[in-house]
Chains A and B, each alone.
Chain A
Amino acid sequence: MTSYTDKIREISKRLLKEGKVDMVIGFTKGSVPMMNQPMFARNQNDVDGFAWDGNCGINLANYVTGRSEKIGIVAKGCDSRNLAVHIVENKIKRDQLYIIGVPCTGMVDRHKLTASVGGEIEAIEEDAAGKTVTISGNDFSETVDRVDVLQENCALCMHRNPVIYDELIAEEVPEQTEESVDRYEAVRKVEEMSPEEKWAYFDDLFSDCIRCYACRNACPLCYCPTCFVDESKPQWVGKSIDPSDIRIFHFLRAYHCAGRCTDCGACVRSCPMGINVRALTKKLEKDSLEYFGWEAGLTTEQRPPLDTYKPDDPEQFIK
């Protein structure tokens, strides 16, 4: 990934030098493995901090919300889709952005890797060809195929190449297709469950949730000035770790993301407990596709289906 890193630095430097942007937002290497940090550069000297590898799974669209500067932003496929959502929802203007598109081959799953070894991972290396990942720490070192340790959302991603951009840093990567991956297999499994099985499934899914809200706060869609769980006049949801309040938070949040979620996986990546909150949003993604033929973030021209009204809507309930 050194070529990606070099290219990002080079473009950022040029943009700042030419005064095309006031700042560039990208990633820098984290102080611990698998945890790269979003960073900004305001002057040319800072661009050497930028880096790119398979640990850039945070969604950078989250960092442009409501900003007033002219921004260069490093964007993989999903980030670019969330930028499109942001543009449609007036969270940023298209002409404020210079999108540095990164063709993406997926991010590695920090939860899976952490769980796969007995000790703490001290270092992670990807080979130049992008085929393997080597993790090591006290008394262990293991090399695995990169495709086997991708985040689940990345393994199922259909838009690895940025959908909107001003410049690409490399050749486009081949896209996966409906024929090559079955992206709704897990959703169908849950759909097929009996009510009791579903109850048990969701009960278990959220059993360790500590309600820290990392999932929500990592999400570029969750930009409400006050989230419904934080409202106090009236207070919609209890604040304890009562299971029903935890579920209300997750289910309502998921509905707020319907038709807007790009399945970037930032929520799951950020969760300290590795809870697969995508189990909810993926279902809504599937419904959006099946009912409205809609995939989020592919256009800056059209608002998502659940926040538009058409007088000729075929559904009777709306009239």
Chain B
Amino acid sequence: MKVIQIDKSELDAGLEKLESEFRLIGPVKEKDYHLFTTLTPGQKPDLEYINTRLSARSILYPQSEVMFEFSLDKNDENYAVLKEPQKDRQPTAVIGIRPCDADAYEVVRRNFDTPEYKDPYWLKNYESTTLVGLACSKPCPTCFCTSAVSGPFSEKNVDILLVDNGDHYLARLVTEKGEKLAESAGWNRPAENADETIEKMKLDAESKIKSEVATDNLASQALIDLYEAEAAIWEPEAFACINCGTCTHACPTCWCFDVQDETYGKAGFRMRNWDSCMYPLFTVHASGHNPRGTKIARIRQRFMHKLKYYVDKYEKGIQCTGCGRCVRLCPVNIDIRRICNKMNSYDPETCSCAVTS
């Protein structure tokens, strides 16, 4: 794969060239933290950032998205007809997405792009987006991507991988899409011995990751054993949980949504909004019955989904890229690393886990 060198001093000029062809999105710090933001002309992403407070999920999958419009006006020819609104899907480039967030798109895609079902909204956004990744040379203490399904230099799902090398970036052009973007930006200077340098930096970054999860037994554990491990896992973990949904909202790999109709005067909108299995409403039936009516049942769903059902269904590891956001943001310290290790080490004979923390 081709590696080019982009001097930091020439990055901005390249981004400006891209502005005519792409909607640019990048990490920007407006308050006390970074968030992905659509860049206005001339606005630059802050590539010195560590990671964004919220994940890159909303770039392809907005928290609230209108799917159809309709009219409640009887005289309107569109009365009670669902119509897909015109959407601006101009080519988009995300500048500086971290590998864990890019790999999360691959995880989500397994659900949104299957032979039986294709999510048109997500897929159209995905197809029109070029991902310019930024490798992590200084991983955080709560990052555990290497033992989840990602890594600080993972290029599984980026089109270009930028590696910060002092006064310049080494840019590996991973896909054709990436090559095209580099061409449009005028970045074309080949880098010398870059593969070797990148490999060294990659090993260095991986060795700095101190946090990990054990996942080797998850597939072979019997589903029902884990499900029924109330005393060993679910009860103690559920106690502190306030079912706030911070974890699922912050997570790049969560994909659940709820469909709602809203009206504004005579104009109607059918939209989808992110939902969370941590909320009581998530499963409540029209009859009022809630099959997942307790906190234990809800917390079990989140972790069983990420660490067991997904593992069994797709055989591609866990539904978690190890970005660490839920670990950092859960107000009461429900730590997926601890729970994963408990599930992995659970012994149904003794109903106990080898690890408790």
A interface with B by C-beta (< 8 Å):
30-32, 35-40, 58, 62-63, 111, 114-115, 118-120, 122, 137-139, 208, 210, 212-214, 216-218, 230, 232, 238-242, 269-270, 272-274
Contacts and interface: CB of A to CB of B under 8 A. Distances in A.
Nearest to B327: A32
B305 interface: no
Interface string B328-340: 1111111101100
Given A31-B357, A214-B245, A272 B338 contact: no
* Shortest beta-carbon contacts, A-B, top 5: A240-B64, A270-B331, A214-B244, A115-B32, A30-B333
19 contacts: A31-B327, A32-B328, A38-B239, A58-B331, A115-B32, A119-B138, A208-B35, A210-B249, A214-B246, A217-B242, A230-B281, A240-B271, A240-B273, A242-B64, A270-B246, A272-B53, A272-B249, A273-B53, A274-B32
A214 B141 contact: no
B330 A138 contact: no
Nearest to B143: A120
Contact of A272 (B64, B250, B327): B250
Nearest to B243: A217
Given A32-B327, A238-B260, A120 B141 contact: yes
Nearest to A210: B249
Given A32-B141, A214-B242, A241-B64, 16 more contacts: A31-B357, A35-B333, A37-B332, A39-B240, A119-B140, A139-B138, A214-B244, A217-B243, A238-B260, A239-B258, A239-B260, A240-B271, A269-B331, A270-B332, A272-B249, A274-B33
B245 A213 contact: yes
A231 B63 CA distance: 20
Contacts of A120: 50, 140-142, 328
Specify which of A58, A111, A120, A208 lies most central, judged by the most chain B CB atoms within 10 Å of its CB: A120
Interface of B: 31-33, 35, 50, 53-54, 63-64, 138, 140-142, 239-240, 242-246, 249-250, 258, 260, 262, 271, 273, 276, 279-281, 327-335, 337-338, 357
Given A208-B35, A240-B273, A137 B331 contact: no
Nearest to B325: A272
A149 to B, nearest CB: 14
Contacts of A119: 50, 138, 140
Contacts, number: 116
Contacts of B140: 119-120, 138
Contacts of B35: 208
A139 B242 CA distance: 34
Contacts of B333: 30-32, 35-37
A78 to B, nearest CB: 16
A249 to B, nearest CB: 13
A29 to B, nearest CB: 9
Given A210-B249, A214-B245, A111 B32 contact: yes
Contacts of B250: 272
Given A39-B239, A120-B328, A230-B280, A210 B244 contact: no
A299 B249 CA distance: 38
- The secondary structure that dominates the A interface is loop
A240 B262 contact: yes
Contacts of B281: 230, 232
B334 to A, nearest CB: 8
A233 B272 CA distance: 19
Contacts of B280: 230
Contacts of A39: 239-240
Nearest to A111: B32
Contacts of A210: 54, 63, 249
A210 B138 CA distance: 28
A7 B58 CA distance: 47
A37 B240 contact: yes
Contact of A270 (B64, B138, B242, B335): B242
B146 to A, nearest CB: 17
A58 B332 contact: yes
Nearest to A40: B239
A239 B65 CA distance: 11
Contacts of B141: 32, 120, 122, 137-138
B331 A212 contact: no
B331 A32 contact: no
A246 to B, nearest CB: 11
A57 to B, nearest CB: 9
Nearest to A62: B242
A59 to B, nearest CB: 10
Contact of A31 (B245, B246, B271, B337): B337
Specify which of A32, A138, A218, A274 lies most central, judged by the most chain B CB atoms within 10 Å of its CB: A32
Nearest to B245: A212
A30 B249 CA distance: 21
A209 B53 CA distance: 12
Contact of B31 (A31, A62, A208, A272): A208
Given A208-B35, A240-B64, A240-B262, A218 B239 contact: no
Given A39-B239, A210-B54, A32 B64 contact: no
Nearest to B281: A230
Nearest to B249: A212
A213 B275 CA distance: 12
A55 to B, nearest CB: 10
Contacts of B246: 212, 214, 270, 272
A145 B271 CA distance: 49
Nearest to B262: A238
A114 B244 contact: no
A116 to B, nearest CB: 9
Contacts of B142: 32, 120
A37 B331 CA distance: 8
Contacts of B64: 240-242
Nearest to B64: A240
Nearest to A29: B333
A32 B244 contact: no
Contact of A213 (B244, B262, B327): B244
B50 to A, nearest CB: 6
